[in-house]
Structure 1
């Protein structure tokens, strides 16, 4: 039977590997313990809130004419079929934005400097549009439309 012989180089290699593994585990543990989840499973006790704001783009054309467009930000949100959630919409740009959500009876107005909260639940998959009725097309500085994608 051969005896296990460890040279100085082998000992340094094994100890270095062990130290590296311990350091990696410590770093990973520190990273994940302090992390904040950006996605979580919904539970029936908590209603998820999705935050939106009103925004505006302005530009000047070569002839000096100013153009602008309003938008919801984010422009696309995702929800699960049957999930109850809230849209919390804060008015930043524009005096007010009357809105409707296609396929629902939900309507309201978002006013600058104020929050408007809308309770929603979609029982059918699809894409539903949140439309500002003041800025519904290009002629009226739009279209100011956000898409609610329900899977």
Structure 2
């Protein structure tokens, strides 16, 4: 009979220790500066700014007649932002020496240079589709315009 009582005390002790470690681990991870992977654990601060990363990319194709065709693009070509959300669009120049750009419907202009990162703070008050357009790679003299799309809803 005494043997059974000792086992029950050990089980209760181990269970209590497990609960303390579980609660301690949860409190530790909640107190760190890292962002949780699950949205319901995240503290929703109005000053949170989301980073969206984009690059400049180039594609070259040789056609059957031997002529080459180049196409530049923003990659990803489409991004999605909530109305009123604060975003840092971080564009890194990979291909092309520079890409002067503007975002239609805004006063935002800038230049992405090869080997550098350009940070564009964004916050849209109106829903819609906004185009980010490279001024060098647009128009009739380029086979494929360099246009990206920012969807705001």
TM-score (norm 1): 0.71
**Hey, what does 2:60 align to over in structure 1?**
58
Deviation of residue 52 (structure 1)? 0.2
Deviation of residue 136 (structure 1)? 1.5
> Secondary structure, in 3 states, of the residue corresponding to 1:117?
strand
**Hey, what does 2:89 align to over in structure 1?**
87
Deviation of residue 85 (structure 1)? 0.7
Distance (Å, rounded) in 1 between the aligned partners of 2:39 and 2:78: 16
**Hey, what does 1:102 align to over in structure 2?**
104
**Hey, what does 1:73 align to over in structure 2?**
75
Q: Residues 95 and 111 of structure 1 are in contact (CA less than 8 Å); yes or no, is this contact kept in structure 2?
A: yes
> Secondary structure, in 3 states, of the residue corresponding to 1:142?
coil
**Hey, what does 1:127 align to over in structure 2?**
129
Q: Does 1:143 align with 2:145?
A: yes
Work out the number of aligned pairs and report it: 117
1:54-75 Cα shifts (integer Å, max 9, x gaps): 0011010111111110000000
> Secondary structure, in 3 states, of the residue corresponding to 1:131?
strand
Deviation of residue 107 (structure 1)? 0.2
1:60-109 Cα shifts (integer Å, max 9, x gaps): 01111111100000000000111111100000000000000011100000
Deviation of residue 44 (structure 1)? 1.6
Superposition CA RMSD, Å: 2.2
**Hey, what does 2:45 align to over in structure 1?**
43
